[in-house]
Amino acid sequence: MTKHTETATNNNPSERNVDLAFAEAKRMIDLIATPESEVSDQDRRWVAETTYQNFHDHINKGFLEYRKSVTETDDFALTDWYGEGSILRDVMGREYIDMLGGFGLYSPGIRHPKIVAAVKAQLDRSPQYSQEMLDPLRAHLARVIARLTPGDIQYGWFANSGTEAVEGAMKLAKLHTGRSGFISTLSGFHGKTLGSLSLIGKSVYRKPLLPLLEGVRQVPFGDADAVEQVLKCAATVGDGIAGVVVEPIQGEAGAVVPPDDYWPRLREICDKYDVLLIADEVQTGFGRTGKIFGVDHWNVTPDIMCFGKALGGGVVAMSGFFSTAKIWKCMEPNPFMHTTTTGGNPLACAAALAQITVLIEENLAQQAAEKGEYIISKFKVLKEKYPHILQEFRGRGLLLAMIFPTDEIGYKVAAGLFSRHVLTAGTLTNAKSIRIEPALTVSYDLIDEMLRRVEDTFASMTV
Ligand SMILES: Cc1ncc(COP(=O)(O)O)c(C=O)c1O
């Protein structure tokens, strides 16, 4: 099979060879500078073959067994190359409808022209900071986010990934309260660095790395009484809880929407026990669930908000955590308590500022709400028609998931959609779910086409 071909230069992939390092780096640089229409078939094959081989030799062979892009293609593995809006085209020219949205980062669509233009403009001025002069874009973006967020959220800090935003929020909560414990939720997901991982509600990612942070307790999502119970017990025995970290709508658990009184009650309970309420909006933020932020569904103002994914508009990696002036005070005596060299760099800030203008100008939250309702109504019909395949369809806005009776059925559906050129994926803490998480700008034509291919997949299955 082509994707398993050894390349001549790969005989000893760990050998030190500066000349080869130069030649190999240059080949890819030259290739990405080549206009798309001039990339030869030979070069395309080279990209597909060496990508597979390099994953095998230098990233992690394990991925090659899990990715449908490898297991469900019988010649070249599907290899990322080009995207626009909700269409992805691999290096060999195969086209897919993107119903994955890069796990929620492509909310404005792939390569939104206004976001790309802002980043290109900033790239021609200054791609990174001096680290000594005050940086205008970061300061300006913080002001814009203070205006966009609910209540008295005012100060923030930027990083590159969602997990770093959660780490920052945890440090802030510890510094402000002087306590170290946290409450999080079962099946909740907050990232995979050691602090965020301590919050995760799934043993598979946690157990092999124990001990993680002490004093973290997980309770069922959607159950405010359970949070209160833990806080009451902690207060009785003298354990200090700094914060309650919750996703407004759980993403990686398969788009789980809590009861309507959950967030208002969390707010009340956290106030009662003087504990910080931390909303992890990394996946729900910036329009994804049909409101600008997930907590807006219940008009709740958390004490700390974490952002990521769509913040950088699907163009530059970007994340951040924000809080009130009162809570942020503890960061002032030593502002170096939490820093990063590259977080909030000018390219990322340009992308985020442009993303926010697109969010507002194109009313992305409302688009998500309307398209989400449309998709849910169509899946309701599919569920009635194929109850043995589709157990549940849930979520809000365009954070949606199909839930299957077994992992095997879920895998068959994912493979069936993949063979029909619809890109979807499972969720990290629930093996029986497949997400539908397209760009908020996805067209109704593409939604209808996706629905047709889903029905075709269901109809072809013998379960
Ligand atoms: C709610 C939530 N928090 C945090 C993260 C971690 O973000 P990242 O993968 O950028 O570290 C994710 C990623 O899926 C997430 O969904």
Indicate whether 191 and 309 sit together in one domain.
yes
Does the beta carbon of 189 lie inside 6 Å of ligand 1? Answer: yes
Both 205 and 322 in a single domain?
yes
Q: Which residues pair with 393 in a beta bridge?
A: 402
Compute the distance from residue 27 Cα to the ligand 1 centre, in Å: 33
Place 230 in a pLDDT band, splitting at 50, 70 and 90.
very high
pTM exceeds 0.75 for this model: yes
The CA 43 to ligand 1 mean position distance, Å, reads: 35
Cα–Cα distance, 298 to 330 (Å, whole number): 29
Residue 55 to residue 396: CA distance in whole angstroms: 35
The ligand 1 atom at the shortest distance from the C-alpha of residue 161 is 10
Query: Does one domain contain both 10 and 129?
Result: no
Q: Per-residue pLDDT for 4 more than 80? A: no
**390 inside domain:** no
82 belongs to a structural domain = no
- At 352, the pLDDT band (50, 70, 90 cuts) reads very high
CA 426 to ligand 1 center in whole angstroms: 15
- Dihedral sign (CA 55, 13, 19, 9): negative
Give the structural domain span for 6: 2-56
Q: Which two tokens stand for residue 78?
A: 């599907």
Q: Which residue has the higher pLDDT, 383 or 74?
A: 383
Residue 283 CB–ligand 1 contact under 6 Å: yes
The domain tally of the chain equals 2
Are 8 and 120 part of one and the same domain?
Answer: no
Centroid of ligand 1 to alpha carbon of 284 (angstroms): 10
> Is 401 domain-assigned?
no
| Mean per-residue pLDDT, 163-186 | 98
- Are residues 131 and 49 part of one domain? no
| pLDDT digits 0-9 by tens, 237-285 | 999 999 999 999 999 999 999 999 999 999 999 999 999 999 999 999 9
Q: In terms of domains, do 51 and 117 share one?
A: no
> 303 CB less than 6 Å from ligand 1?
no
What is the tens place of the pLDDT at every residue in 370-391? 999 999 999 999 999 999 999 9
d(CA 440, CA 101): 9
pLDDT of 74 over the 80 cut:
no
Which ligand 1 atom minimizes the distance to the CA of 284?
A: 1
Summarize pLDDT for 188-205 with one digit per residue, the tens.
Answer: 999 999 999 999 999 999
Based on the domain organization, do 50 and 163 belong to the same domain? no
Tokens coding 45: 């094959």
Angle at 219 between CA 338 and CA 200, to 5 degrees: 45
* Residue 143 counted as domain residue: yes
44 and 179 together in one domain: no
Whether residue 285 has its Cβ less than 6 Å from ligand 1: no
Note whether 342 and 253 are same-domain residues: yes
Q: What pLDDT was estimated at residue 108? A: 98
* Ligand 1 in reach of 161 Cβ (< 6 A): yes
Contact 438, 86 (CB under 8 A): yes
- The answer to whether 306 and 282 have CB atoms below 8 angstroms apart is yes
Q: pLDDT band for position 10 (50/70/90)?
A: low
Could you give the CA distance from residue 419 to residue 416 in angstroms, rounded to a whole number?
5
Same domain, 170 and 314: yes
Q: pLDDT tens-digit profile of 385-418?
A: 999 999 999 999 999 999 999 999 998 999 999 9
pLDDT at 461: 93
Highest mean pLDDT among 56-65, 227-236, 420-429: 227-236
Asked if residue 453 belongs to a domain, the reply is: no
- Nearest atom in ligand 1 to the alpha carbon of residue 309 is 10
Q: Ligand 1, from 163, 164, 256, 306: best to mutate by most atoms within 8 Å of Cβ?
A: 163
> Which among 310, 331, 361 is the end of a domain?
361
Residues 90, 81: contact at Cβ < 8 Å?
yes
> Does some domain include residue 381?
no
162 lines ligand 1 (CB under 6 A): yes
The pLDDT, as a whole number, for residue 14 is 87
Indicate whether 7 pLDDT > 50: no
pLDDT at 175: 98
* CATH value at residue 120: 3.40.640.10
Distance from the alpha carbon of residue 29 to the mean position of ligand 1, in angstroms: 30
